[in-house]
Amino acid sequence: MKMDRTSRFIRQIGLLVFSISLAVTASGQTNFVTAPTVSPALPDAGASLLRVMGALVLVIGIFLGGAWMFRNWRRFALQQGRGPKLQVLETRPLGGRHAIYVLGYEQQRFLISASPSGVSLLSHLPAAADNDPVAAASTASRPAFAQALAQVLKGK
């Protein structure tokens, strides 16, 4: 039976403590000062129950707070002052597991399709305005989406 170093060390410490206590008991001499034994009064059951329930509520609160922090850690991560570059601007389901997406990356816009067989680029869309890419993309993508969809359907 192999034992690792930690368990061997713990076993040796236990044997040492046992042998010292056995030697002290066998000699009958103790140099320990013992306090007089007085039976303490039993604590109030209501106060003990209140302390136990308070500790339980505290532990459950810490656990739930940690779980909430774990799920929402991105809210507390330092943003470096810039928004996301890649955005899904609009989505249209086509039935089943097929859909068409308008994606924006910085000033560029793309029309892509997604299906169970994969994702494919359908068309490049007109670029967004320089001053406000998200607002311009949300208002300009509707006509561009319809136009690009009509072009794709004409080609088939």
- The total of structural domains in the chain comes to 1
In a domain, 70, yes or no: no
In a domain, 58, yes or no: no
In a domain, 41, yes or no: no
Tell me which residue of 80, 82, 81, 87 sits closest to 136, measured CA to CA. Answer: 87
In a domain, 57, yes or no: no
In a domain, 117, yes or no: yes
Please tell me whether the overall predicted TM-score, pTM, comes out greater than 0.75 for this model: no
Percent of the chain scored above 90 by pLDDT?
24
What is the rounded distance in angstroms from the CA atom of residue 30 to the CA atom of residue 110? 87
In a domain, 109, yes or no: yes
Domain residue limits at 150: 86-155
Q: Which residue has the higher pLDDT, 38 or 110?
A: 110
Residue 46 has what pLDDT? Answer: 85
Rg (CA), the chain: 36
In a domain, 71, yes or no: no
Give me the sheet containing 108-115, strands edge to edge: 86-95, 98-105, 108-115, 118-125
What is the rounded distance in angstroms from the CA atom of residue 144 to the CA atom of residue 125? 7
In a domain, 78, yes or no: no
Residues in the chain: 156
